[in-house]
Amino acid sequence: MELHEVLKQFKPDKQQLIPVLQKVQEEFGYVSDDSVREISRYMRIAPSEIFGVLTFYGLFRTKPTGKNLIMVCRGTACHIRGGERVLAAVENKLGIHEGESTPDLKYTLETVACIGCCALAPTMMVGKETHGRMSPQRVGEILGDHK
């Protein structure tokens, strides 16, 4: 789907900005600088205002993300039970840091304040699959041979 087709689904109304950004991200995986310029023209909103919304809300992405989103929990229970070691193991395994994607865009690594599975701490998610009672060794098992 082309961006102009996405935009046609919405009225050029400032109140529609967040739904527009959500739909653009859903269709393309992130909201690019080029998309911001086109949204700006269509909705008659300054690009700086759109960037303000994009950077205020943590759910929006402004750069391409990997096919598999890995989220490592940094909540209290996970922190106490070794979440930092799990994060370090993922970073080491994939050769990336928090907020980065592998060059082949197979993985993107993020941390979250809480996954909501404190009884299974430390936890991480790969896509929609939650993995509890994580250890650095299990990271290798879950992510396989990717390097």
| pLDDT for the residue numbered 18 | 97
**Bridge partner list, 126:** 70, 129
Q: Is residue 136 part of a domain?
A: yes
Domain coverage including residue 38? 3-56
| pLDDT for the residue numbered 1 | 86
Q: Is residue 101 part of a domain?
A: yes
What is the rounded CA–CA span in Å between residue 85 and residue 35?
38
pTM of the full structure: 0.73
What is the rounded CA–CA span in Å between residue 4 and residue 17?
15
Based on the fold, state whether residues 85 and 122 are members of the same structural domain.
yes
| pLDDT for the residue numbered 144 | 84
Q: Is residue 62 part of a domain?
A: no
**Terminal CA-to-CA distance of the chain, rounded, Å?**
32
Based on the fold, state whether residues 20 and 78 are members of the same structural domain.
no
pLDDT averaged over 10-residue windows placed end to end, the chain, 147 residues: 95 96 94 98 97 91 92 97 98 96 94 95 95 96 77
Q: Is residue 111 part of a domain?
A: yes
What is the rounded CA–CA span in Å between residue 1 and residue 27?
7
Amino acid letter at 61?
R
Based on the fold, state whether residues 33 and 87 are members of the same structural domain.
no
Based on the fold, state whether residues 83 and 138 are members of the same structural domain.
yes
Contacts of 47 (CB under 8 A, 6+ apart): 36, 37, 40
Based on the fold, state whether residues 45 and 95 are members of the same structural domain.
no
Q: How many domains does the chain have?
A: 2
Based on the fold, state whether residues 79 and 133 are members of the same structural domain.
yes
| pLDDT for the residue numbered 146 | 58
Residue 43 CA, chain-centre distance (Å), reads 25
What is the rounded CA–CA span in Å between residue 111 and residue 48?
27
